[in-house]
Amino acid sequence: METFDFYRRAAIVCRAIPRGRAASYGQIALLCGKPNNARQVGYALNRGRLGHGIPAHRVVNGKGYLSGAAAFETEDMQKQLLESEGVEVEYMEDGWKIDMKKYGWHNTMEEALHFREMFEQQGI
DNA sequence: GCACTGACGCGGG
DNA sequence: TCCCGCGCCAGTG
């Protein structure tokens, strides 16, 4: 798979994250077929490399911590967007975080296979 | 080609 | 559970 294709896959997966839920970078990478590319997912989301209309605020790290707002308009933009979808964001010592048990996007095996099929079909 | 960086993650202690 | 070290790999200069 080309690097470019990985980013296309990432865009598709991100758009599939339901409202009121959040996924981790590693989770996105896994669904894209590259379990070790979590860093590339973060890189892609930064600077809007995945294009417009990507719900980047629904992507957090594995522990549920918000990114630190590097790529958002304002400091608390990601927090605001999540709260507007009903996600509770609480402040911990290391920053703002959400409860992944409650708000995490817990993929089913079917969903994972669905993505694999879709990518295969689209040749990416 | 080399070294360093980073919206990351895991496993051992 | 909490730290910490290490692995990861595309981008960048």
CA A54/CA A35 separation, integer angstroms: 21
Tokens of A68: 């630190």
Distance A66 CA to C2 C1' (A): 20
pLDDT-derived band at A75, boundaries 50, 70, 90 = confident
A10 CA – B11 C1', rounded, Å: 26
Q: Both tokens of residue A90?
A: 């609480």
Q: Which structure tokens are listed for A35?
A: 């379990």
CB A69 within 8 A of CB A77: yes
Mean pLDDT value of segment A55-76: 88
Question: Which nucleotide's C1' atom has the smallest distance to the CA of A65?
Answer: B7
Q: Which amino acid is at A86?
A: G
pLDDT at A69: 63
Distance A11 CA to B10 C1' (A): 25
Please give the model's pTM, rounded to 2 decimal places.
Answer: 0.94
The residue that minimises its CA distance to C1' of C9 is: A37
Strands A90-92 and A59-60: unpaired
Q: Rounded to whole angstroms, how far apart are CA atoms A62 and A116?
A: 22
Task: Express each pLDDT in A78-111 by its tens digit.
Answer: 999 999 999 999 999 989 999 999 999 999 999 9
Angstrom CA distances, A44 to A7, A88, A102, A115, stand at 7, 26, 26, 19
